[in-house]
A = this chain, B = another copy of it.
Amino acid sequence: MAIRQTKQKRVILGVLEKAGRPMSPQEILSSAQQDVPLLSLATVYRVIRGLEADGTIVPVSIPGESARYETHLKAAHHHHHFHCERCSRVFDVPGCGLRVDAHLPGGYRITRHEVMLYGSCIECAATS
């Protein structure tokens, strides 16, 4: 039989669509548990794997932490990310301030790049 629609899947995707930022499996779990209290982390991972496989969501990897995920729609527009060092949440930064490099020694073949900004997000900066 084919893949089934379940409440868990609907809620998890809904969480990602409503969130204005990439979320970690744990964040997704916490948020989705408001609708499905018994939701388990294993299910979050399973659903994420499926959504990533069919291209509905895209991973945003971060050094030292688990990946965040955002919807394919968001990812369609080239952009980068801001990582708050206090609350560890990740936010989207529209556009790309990278001047494609004259600096790299020749011979290297660049296929993509990531820019990560670090600092304090609005909320955390306010609570300084």
Contact = CB atoms under 8 A, between A and B. Distances in A.
B115 A115 contact: yes
Interface string A87-128: 000010111011111111101111111111111111001100
Contact of A103 (B95, B102, B107, B121): B95
Nearest to A64: B61
A25 to B, nearest CB: 15
Interface in A2-27: none
A37 interface: no
Contacts of A107: 121-122, 125-126
Contact of A125 (B108, B114, B116): B108
A106 to B, nearest CB: 8
A77 B98 CA distance: 18
Interface of A: 61-64, 67, 82, 85, 91, 93-95, 97-105, 107-122, 125-126
